[in-house]
Amino acid sequence: MEEDQEALNLAADWADISQGLRKDLGQQAHSQWIKPIQPGNFCNETGTLDLYLPTEFSANWVADRFADRLSLAWKIARPDVRHVRILVNPGRRQLPELRLGNGGKPSRPANDSVHGAGDPLGAALEGNAFASLGQGSIGIDASQTFATFVTGTSNVLAWNAAQRMSAVEAPQFSPLYLKAATGQGKTHLLHAIGHAYLAHHPNARIFYCSAERFMVEFVQALRQNQMIEFKSRLRGFDLLLVDDIQFIIGKASAQEELLYTIDALLAEGKRLVFAADRAPQALDGVEPRLLSRLSMGLVADIMPADIELRRSILENRLQRFPAIDVPADVIEFLARTINRNVRELVGGLNKVIAYAQLTSQQVSLQLAEEQLTDILSANRRRITIDEIQRTVCQFYRIDRTEMSSKRRARAVVRPRQVAMYLAKVLTPRSYPEIGRKFGGRDHSTVIHAVRLIEELRTRDADMDGDVRSLLRQLES
Ligand SMILES: Nc1ncnc2c1ncn2[C@@H]1O[C@H](COP(=O)(O)OP(=O)(O)OP(=O)(O)O)[C@@H](O)[C@H]1O
């Protein structure tokens, strides 16, 4: 069982890596060389992962051209992978096909139903998904469950709705439409619903696919005169999970098919979940009737993860690697600065750990800053000193002019110092530049303010609370 779980984890990680490489290398190179790769044995002691290719030629080609990329991508995805070996598939070992129809327990397929697709999870998620329709098999990722999904104020509503979708008792709404910006956990929740539903309904037939894949399969079925099979298989599911519905563009006939499928499933009390990066009304090129079906149930937003949630996600993730020591200031730094996307946040953490291990260093703030320059600069929202002054004045209920005034009353001096401190922490401005923005003060005044607030934060809980709350407001 443990072995199966490990294989499933590898398959899940490989799906993420493969997807990233597709973006980097382009569709053609990806289909030819990357897709056929199959993650094989992973040795915990040595940290060696074997990647299999179907032929000697392809193994040599991949080893020559993509070994470094593959190795780096794996090290980033899994801090415990230290070496990657590219080998020819001995032809026997199979990864589980994520066939979870037998009481929710992953099992290895009896025969080679993955057909060396090399991307077992991807294949189950996408390529071979329709091929396995109707057998109770599904394309859900075993590592993305409710248990591994961390909740906070930004996503708890969606989480609750997702829980209800998978509960024993039928939900009062259907479909559920999950809406979130990229990398905020939509796909994770879809998979989690699949797992939980299966736990409650062991014989259920669940199907996960992306809308893009749905379109492709639809066109293929049409071309191969297999529409009847296509339709009847689709309608045989108890739970349908359709990801990235924003890609359901073009092809009116495919949209119509989806519409009929939705109607047929809803009429039988089946459960439907869709996910997209925008609200139903904002989907382009989608038939109005399909739009109205998509939004007739519950539309649940996952808001961008706030600082608390980002922190919890990192802490939660680190529990997977108890032997790795990541200092609290690094977690705080990552949580604070990588604020756009949870995928980037987790990727950033993994990258720092991987680099530290490769170079036999301790994880430190300096190392994180050095290794993540790209991610960090992409994430940096330009906060202005004006914005900081405005926020601080509102917070302490003082007049905006006090930021530049010469008044020395404590009630205005402290807020002014806090604002200077925040200007230093949140903007790239130098001390003299900050001084000029505060009524032409000397840079030594700013240095003094920054040090003082830094020091007060360590011994005055109220001050620390004020600063945290201001940081939260400014960074949200
Ligand atoms: N709340 C969370 N707790 C734990 N992990 C999370 C959470 N939110 C996102 N993640 C992780 O972040 C990564 C990206 O999430 P996911 O793929 O679900 O995003 P998405 O919203 O579907 O993005 P996209 O629109 O780009 O497909 C995944 O590895 C997922 O497990």
Q: What is the pLDDT of residues 90-107, one digit of tens each?
A: 653 332 222 222 222 222
pLDDT at 246 over 70: yes
Residue 332 alpha carbon to ligand 1 centre in Å: 20
The confidence score (pLDDT) of residue 214 equals 79
Q: Give the residue, out of 16, 141, 184, with the most ligand 1 atoms within 8 A of its beta carbon, to mutate for a pocket test.
A: 184
Q: What is the mean pLDDT of residues 66-72?
A: 83
**For ligand 1, atom 20: residue with the closest CA:** 183
In the numeric block, which tokens belong to residue 104?
């929710």
The confidence score (pLDDT) of residue 391 equals 96
Name beta bridge partners: 177: 274, 299
Select the highest-mean-pLDDT range: 58-62, 317-321, 444-448: 444-448
Q: What is the mean pLDDT of residues 54-70?
A: 82
390-428 as b/e, with b when 16 or more CB fall inside 10 Å?
Answer: ebbbeebebeeebbeeeeeeeebebbbbbbbbbbbbbbe
Residue 188 alpha carbon to ligand 1 centre in Å: 5
pLDDT at 72 over 80: no
Residue 81 host element (H or E):
none
Q: pLDDT band for 381, please (50, 70, 90 cuts).
A: low
CATH class, range 129-302: alpha beta
Q: What is the mean pLDDT of residues 57-66?
A: 82
Tell whether residue 185 is among the known ligand binding residues: yes
Ligand 1 site, CB within 6 A: 144, 148-150, 155, 180, 182-188, 277, 313, 342-343, 346
**Among the residues of 288-442, which ranges form H helices?**
288-294, 307-318, 328-337, 342-358, 365-371, 373-379, 385-396, 410-426, 431-437
User: Virtual CA dihedral for 389, 395, 398, 400, nearest 10 degrees?
Assistant: 20
- How many angstroms separate the CA atoms of 188 and 155, rounded? 12
Residue 344 alpha carbon to ligand 1 centre in Å: 9
- Say what the ipTM of the complex is: 0.98
Q: Give the residue, out of 187, 241, 319, 375, with the most ligand 1 atoms within 8 A of its beta carbon, to mutate for a pocket test.
A: 187
Q: Give the residue, out of 179, 283, 342, with the most ligand 1 atoms within 8 A of its beta carbon, to mutate for a pocket test.
A: 342
Tell whether residue 186 is among the known ligand binding residues: yes
Q: pLDDT band for 22, please (50, 70, 90 cuts).
A: confident
- How many angstroms separate the CA atoms of 312 and 328, rounded? 12
Tell whether residue 285 is among the known ligand binding residues: no
| CB atoms closer than 10 angstroms to residue 250 | 11
The reported pTM is: 0.60
Residue 179 alpha carbon to ligand 1 centre in Å: 12
Residue 342 alpha carbon to ligand 1 centre in Å: 6
% of the chain at pLDDT higher than 70 = 86
The confidence score (pLDDT) of residue 103 equals 26
Of 353, 349, 351, the residue nearest 361 (C-alpha): 353
The confidence score (pLDDT) of residue 176 equals 96
Atom number in ligand 1 closest to CA 150? 3
Q: What is the mean pLDDT of residues 211-218?
A: 79
The confidence score (pLDDT) of residue 327 equals 92
pLDDT at 351 over 50: yes
State pLDDT tens for residues 424-440. Answer: 888 778 889 999 999 99
Q: Where do we find the tokens 């600065």?
A: 337
What are the two backbone dihedrals, phi and then psi, of residue 244, each rounded to the nearest 5 degrees?
50, 50
**For ligand 1, atom 4: residue with the closest CA:** 149
Atom number in ligand 1 closest to CA 184? 21
Question: If you average pLDDT over every residue of the chain, what do you get?
Answer: 81
Q: Give the residue, out of 314, 316, 343, 375, with the most ligand 1 atoms within 8 A of its beta carbon, to mutate for a pocket test.
A: 343
Residue 213 alpha carbon to ligand 1 centre in Å: 19
pLDDT at 71 over 90: no
CATH T-level fold of 2-88 = GMP Synthetase; Chain A, domain 3 (3.30.300)
Residue 49, classed as helix, strand or coil, is: strand
Given CATH 1.10.8.60, say whether it is the number of domain 307-379.
yes
**For ligand 1, atom 8: residue with the closest CA:** 185
Given CATH 1.10.1750.10, say whether it is the number of domain 385-475.
yes
pLDDT at 372 over 60: yes
Domain spans in the chain, listed from the N-terminal domain onward: 2-88, 129-302, 307-379, 385-475
- How many angstroms separate the CA atoms of 327 and 368, rounded? 11
The confidence score (pLDDT) of residue 4 equals 63
Select the highest-mean-pLDDT range: 15-19, 140-144, 333-337: 333-337
What are the two backbone dihedrals, phi and then psi, of residue 210, each rounded to the nearest 5 degrees?
-90, 155
The confidence score (pLDDT) of residue 250 equals 65
In the numeric block, which tokens belong to residue 367?
């190392």
Q: Do domains 129-302 and 307-379 have the same CATH topology?
A: no
**For ligand 1, atom 13: residue with the closest CA:** 343
State pLDDT tens for residues 278-312. Answer: 888 888 788 889 899 999 999 999 988 988 999 99
Higher pLDDT, 43 or 137: 43
| CB atoms closer than 10 angstroms to residue 28 | 8
Contacts 24+ apart (CB under 8 A), 371-377: 372/334, 372/337, 372/338, 372/348, 375/338, 375/344, 375/347, 375/348, 376/337, 376/338
pLDDT at 207 over 50: yes
Atom number in ligand 1 closest to CA 188? 18
| CB atoms closer than 10 angstroms to residue 182 | 12
Q: pLDDT band for 113, please (50, 70, 90 cuts).
A: very low
State pLDDT tens for residues 158-206. Answer: 999 999 999 989 888 999 999 998 889 999 999 899 889 988 888 888 8
The confidence score (pLDDT) of residue 476 equals 65
Higher pLDDT, 222 or 12: 222
Count how many residues are written for the chain.
Answer: 476
Residue 346 alpha carbon to ligand 1 centre in Å: 9
Tell whether residue 183 is among the known ligand binding residues: yes
State pLDDT tens for residues 133-167. Answer: 333 334 555 668 899 899 998 899 999 999 999 99
| Burial classification of residue 254, based on how many CB atoms lie within 10 Å of its CB (0-12 exposed, 13-18 middle, 19 or more buried) | buried
The answer to whether 173 and 274 have CB atoms below 8 angstroms apart is no
Residue 474 alpha carbon to ligand 1 centre in Å: 24
% of the chain at pLDDT higher than 90 = 33
Residue 396 alpha carbon to ligand 1 centre in Å: 37
The confidence score (pLDDT) of residue 232 equals 87
pLDDT at 249 over 70: no
